[in-house]
A and B are shown apart, each in its own frame.
Chain A
Amino acid sequence: MTLPLFIEQTLNGVQFGVMLFLMAAGLTLIFGVMGLINLAHGALYMVGAFAAAATAAATGSFILALAASVVFAAFAGVLVETLIIRRLYGRDHLDQVLATFALVLIFAEGTRWVFGSFPLFLDKPDWLSGTVMLPFGIEYSLYRLAIILVGLVVAAGLFWLIGRTRVGMQIRAGENDREMIAALGVNISRLYTLVFALGAGLAGFAGALIGAIQSVQVGMGDSVLILAFVVIVIGGIGSIKGAFVGALLVGLTDTLGRQLLPMFFALFMEPAAATSTGASLASMAIYLLMAAVLILRPKGLFGGA
């Protein structure tokens, strides 16, 4: 493989990883602070993408579409949290899994009801189309580069929010001891709603950004949700830093695996067999990575003790 192709695929892997981080950050915060396993997180990703596609179709503005994705997903998050999720905090994981699975069914069918079964299309704006020249003579998609930059900025903002602000301090305190911060006069139920809305907004934002590369359709959140689970299992549940490292690992393993494994098998197999064996193995690569991490560190790379 030539160097430019390798760098291009690495960038694709980073772009995928950054998007996974936006999903995984919300999941890991919600689990860390509220102890809730939220299968409906992928549904919020889908809500963001649909809100963006509908807004872009109505106004023609991509920026407005992105704003709408965050607002609608966060709003859906607040709605779901206050109506249903709030009753689940004290319950065991089984109840949480079932109730949020029920929400997945309701969101998916509800979206199908409103928008129909056909995928919607969200076009990237003209000013982000085309390619840019990078060093070493690499031509790379401007939009994907923008996604990487935006994702990194959001990640930095999130680290700042959690690590340096008053709200972040309360969130971290909530992870450690929720009774204590309630006793200190923090409105814990408002904090929970806020964290849930933050996670939902991030998921919706990711959905809108990816929706412009892929099609916007019902069920688009499912595979991303499960990948985000893999990410936080690898990184350690509850750790934002772990989610970031895990997301990049998963993004790079998946993208480079799809590129490199077929080439590797082509060294000693027939081309057709090499392509199919490589593709099948590449689809399993991230789960093998997860299994390997679990054998070495059952609590994930950055998980507590």
Chain B
Amino acid sequence: MPRETLLNVLLMTALLAFPLWAHLADEPFLITLTTRAVIFAIAGIGLNVALGFGGLVSLGHAAFFGLGGYVMGILAYHAQTYTPLMEVPFLIEGTKSMPVIWLVAIVLSALAALAIGALSLRTSGVYFIMITLAFAQMFYFFTLSWPTYGGEDGLSIYVRNSFPGLNTMDPIQFYGLCYGLLMLVLAFVWALSRAPFGLMLGAARQNEARVAAVGQMPYALYLTAFTISGAITGLAGALFADLNRFVSPTMFSWHTSGEIMIFVILGGVGRVFGPVAGAVLFLLLEHILGGLSPYWHIYLGAVLLGVVLFARGGLYGLLAGREVAHD
């Protein structure tokens, strides 16, 4: 078994075993911490589709993370106050059902990513980075100054949304739900990376001109990747808001975009399971360094600098060596 596969199996087993142990040891805090890791991992996997596979450095994925969060917040808010979301031209009511919320979050984030991507992909390089950042910031300031859904105070939801047959307020059951979704997303992205589309996208990242020469449009490939990427990150946003039962403009802030990028980098860019390792490592750092000093961001910054300057390829690069699949 290649070392990378071994790492993947170890990682996913640990993510199953640790919360079960925490459940038996009656440590709900640790289950919640792991739930956060799993949700961050999904957000990172989303970004990795654009960043790792497509080479699109988006510093604006907070837009989709926050959008997913607000989909959950707004739908649940209307359900808990028994007010319709809108009446004209047709009636839309709030809902507390997780599958519906996920679906809406995915569709809306995909649409937003399609629009933002269509504009941003007219440029490349450093322009692309700044423009994606600016679009996320636009959402941030919009929610900040939009009083209907709490403005800068955000929105609180009293009870976690429901999933048929489960008690979602029970930490381990909600964790199981998130873990299941993580597996689904991983399977989807793994299949995507091996499908003709994924291979073509990787080719476009490495040599745009040749891809164009064999009759594929790099722009369409990038835009599709960016849309899928936004949709997955939006799903993570809806889960994150449900975990906290709270959503606020902070989800849109550029620090969120930076953190999602950190998950991808710490784990290893362009590897399907990389963001999972990155998110786990990030929360481990937060837990350990945060216990050492209230100013733990200094150490986080130092670790990040170290990884960028000296350990390119992240955790997977260190442990599994160079990627063997292609190139």
Contacts and interface: CB of A to CB of B under 8 A. Distances in A.
B296 to A, nearest CB: 8
A82 interface: no
B261 A98 contact: yes
Interface of B: 51, 57, 59, 119, 122-123, 125-127, 129-131, 133-135, 137-138, 141-142, 144-148, 254, 258, 261-262, 265, 269, 295-298, 300-302, 304-305, 307-309, 312
Nearest to A232: B130
Contacts of B297: 105-106, 108-109
Nearest to B116: A291
Contacts of B301: 102-106, 109
Given A97-B57, A98-B304, A99-B308, A276 B138 contact: no
Tell me which of A87, A97, A113, A295 has the highest count of chain B C-beta atoms within 10 A of its own C-beta.
Answer: A97
Interface string A264-294: 0000000000001001101110010011001
Given A98-B261, A233-B134, A283-B141, 16 more contacts: A31-B126, A84-B305, A93-B125, A93-B126, A94-B51, A98-B307, A101-B261, A109-B298, A226-B254, A229-B130, A280-B145, A282-B145, A284-B138, A295-B122, A298-B127, A299-B127
B265 A98 contact: yes
B304 A93 contact: no
Interface residues of A, number: 42
Contact of A287 (B135, B147, B261, B295): B135
Given A102-B301, A105-B300, A222-B254, A287 B134 contact: yes
Chain A to chain B: the 10 pairs with minimum beta-carbon distance, closest first? A105-B301, A106-B301, A287-B138, A283-B141, A102-B304, A109-B297, A102-B301, A229-B130, A102-B305, A109-B298
Interface string A33-75: 0000100000000000000000000000000000000000000
Contacts of A233: 127, 130-131, 134
Contacts of B258: 101, 104
B257 to A, nearest CB: 9
A93 B262 CA distance: 14
B308 A102 contact: yes
A110 B295 CA distance: 8
Given A97-B261, A280-B146, A287 B126 contact: no
A151 B53 CA distance: 44
Nearest to A236: B127
A112 interface: yes
A197 B282 CA distance: 33
Contact of A105 (B137, B144, B304): B304
A262 to B, nearest CB: 11
Contacts, number: 119
Interface of A: 31, 37, 84, 87, 93-95, 97-99, 101-106, 108-110, 112-113, 222, 226, 229-230, 232-233, 237, 276, 279-280, 282-284, 287, 290-291, 294-295, 298-300
A294 to B, nearest CB: 6
B133 A229 contact: yes
Please classify the interface of chain B as helix (H, G, I), strand (E, B), loop, or mixed, using the class held by over half of its residues.
helix
A291 B137 CA distance: 13
A108 B309 CA distance: 21
Nearest to A278: B145
A284 B254 contact: no
B144 to A, nearest CB: 7
A99 B146 CA distance: 34
B276 to A, nearest CB: 19
B295 A113 contact: yes
23 contacts: A93-B129, A95-B312, A98-B262, A102-B301, A102-B302, A102-B305, A102-B308, A105-B297, A105-B300, A105-B301, A109-B295, A109-B297, A113-B295, A226-B133, A230-B130, A232-B130, A276-B147, A280-B145, A284-B141, A287-B134, A287-B138, A294-B123, A298-B122
Contacts of A284: 138, 141-142
A301 to B, nearest CB: 13
A110 B297 CA distance: 9
A110 B145 contact: no
B118 to A, nearest CB: 10
B145 to A, nearest CB: 5
A295 B120 CA distance: 9
A283 B145 contact: yes
Contact of A229 (B134, B261, B300): B134
Contacts of A109: 295-298, 301
